[in-house]
Amino acid sequence: MSYKSIDKMQNLLAETVFSHTASPKKAAGRALGTMVEIISFYLIKAWGHEYKTAIEKPLPEYANKDITHNVEFTFHHNKLIDTIEAPIVDSVTSTRIFNMTNFPNGFQKSRTTRNLLKDGIVKNACSVAYSDVSFCNAYFSNDRKNICLYELSNKPYAMVECKRVGVEEGMNKGPQTIEKAKQGAYVARTVSSIQRIRLGDGRIGGVIERNGEVDFYEDYYALIENAILKHDKELLGDFILTVGIVSNHGNWFTTDNQNKEIKVLSQSYDWLLFLTDEGLSAFIMEMISGDNNFGVVKKAFEKSYEKEKKGSRFTKTTMDSEADIVLTEYFNKNIKEIESWLNVIAPENRDIKALNSMLTELGRMGV
C-alpha cells in the first residue's frame, strides 16, 4: 500500500492509531512531526555522529548568553572517557554509570538522575556528568554489550532543527506556518559568530568580528568551505553550522516550488533539507506494515500512543530498545536510499554528502 499524499497518511493514522483521542488528526500530525525528528536522528547516527550529539540542549545566542534556544540536536567536539561493560539488568541509571566510571577531576554527577535503560526504553544521549567546560553523555554500543562515555565540549559546532506544519481540514494554509518559519530563522541567524548578510544582487555574504576588526566576505559559503578545508580554528572558533530539516504538509514545498516559508528558512540556515512526502511515506509504511523485523517498531509506535500509555517509547529522545536496534540496522543498510529522501534546498549546487563531509571535518577540528 502506497500513499503519495502525506495528508492521506495522516488521515489513516487518525482513523486507526489515534481514534481514541479528542482530536485524532491533530494527534496524528504531531506524530508525523515526531517521525521527522526520528528520521533525522537515525540519519545522524548512520552518518557516525551519534557520539558527538546532544539532544534538546539549550543553545545560547552568540555573544548573548542570557538567551538560549532549545534545538533538536547539537554537535560537540568529543573525547572518549571510558567504555564499560553494560550490566545485564532491566534498569541502568546515570547514577549507576557515574559510579562505575573513573571520571577525570572536575566532573560532578548530573543533578538529575536519568535512565539510560528502563522498562525496555533507551534514552538517547543520556547525560551522566558535567564539568565547568564540558558534559558527559552515555551511549549504548550498537551491539548493546558496552556503554560508551564521551566528554562533549559545552560549545557546539553545529545544530539541527526539524520543522513541520500541518493544515487543518477545509483550510488552504496553516495559520502558524510563517511564524514557525520566522522562529527557526531567528535562531539560525543568532547562534554563530559568522553572520550571514544578503547582498544587493541576492548573494549571501559573511561578516565576522575578530580582535575589534570587522571582516567582510562576499561569498559566505566559500568562506565557510575554505575555512573547514584549511581547519582554520581561529575563524571557526565560535562558528556554528546551522541545519534545518523541513517536511511537506500543504505548506512546505520543493526546490522548484518554494513558498514564502521556504524562502525565509533557506535565507537563514546554512543548510536546508526538504524531507519529501515519498520519503516520509516510505518510512511510515515500512514501520506500520509490521512485516519482518519492523514488527517491533510498529509495536513500539502503537504502544507509545496507547490511551493508557506508560512513558513514551517512540521519540528522538526515548526509544524502545528493540525498535532502536532495528531502526539503527535499517538506516545503516539503506543509507543511500534514505539520503535520497532529502532534497537540498540550500545551499545551491550542493548535495547531501557534502553536508555530511562538513560535519565530519568540523568534528575533527576539536581533536
Question: In this predicted model, what pLDDT tens digit does every residue of 172-187 receive, in sequence order?
Answer: 554 456 777 888 899 9
pLDDT, residue 58, reads 95
pLDDT, residue 118, reads 94
DSSP state of 314: B
Average pLDDT of span 298-307: 88
The band of 232, judged by pLDDT with boundaries at 50, 70 and 90, is very high
Q: H-helix or E-strand containing 339?
A: helix 335-340
Share of the chain above pLDDT 70, in %: 89
Whether residue 148 has pLDDT greater than 60: yes
Tens digit of each residue's pLDDT (9 = 90 or more) over 109-123:
999 999 999 999 999
- Kindly state the cell numbers that stand for 245: 530539516
CA distance 82 to 129: 13
Which of 65-79, 138-152, 273-287, 303-317 is predicted least confidently? Answer: 303-317
CA distance 353 to 364: 17
Kindly list the domain boundaries of the chain, sorted by start residue: 76-154
Which of 14-23, 29-38, 42-51, 76-85 is predicted least confidently? Answer: 14-23
DSSP state of 87: P
How many other C-beta atoms lie within 10 A of the C-beta of residue 210?
A: 12
The band of 262, judged by pLDDT with boundaries at 50, 70 and 90, is confident
pLDDT, residue 294, reads 86
pLDDT, residue 4, reads 54
Answer yes or no: are the C-beta atoms of 45 and 328 closer than 8 Å. yes
Answer yes or no: are the C-beta atoms of 238 and 192 closer than 8 Å. yes
Whether residue 83 has pLDDT greater than 50: yes
pLDDT, residue 45, reads 98
- Kindly state the cell numbers that stand for 160: 539541527
The band of 291, judged by pLDDT with boundaries at 50, 70 and 90, is low
pLDDT, residue 9, reads 78
Answer yes or no: are the C-beta atoms of 124 and 55 closer than 8 Å. yes
Of 175 and 200, the one with more pLDDT? 200
Average pLDDT of span 270-280: 92
Average pLDDT of span 307-331: 90
pLDDT, residue 5, reads 65
Which of 123-127, 253-257, 282-286, 339-343 is predicted least confidently? Answer: 253-257
Answer yes or no: are the C-beta atoms of 129 and 147 closer than 8 Å. no
Share of the chain above pLDDT 90, in %: 66
Secondary structure class of 147 (helix, strand, coil): strand
Helices assigned H by DSSP within 16-73: 24-46
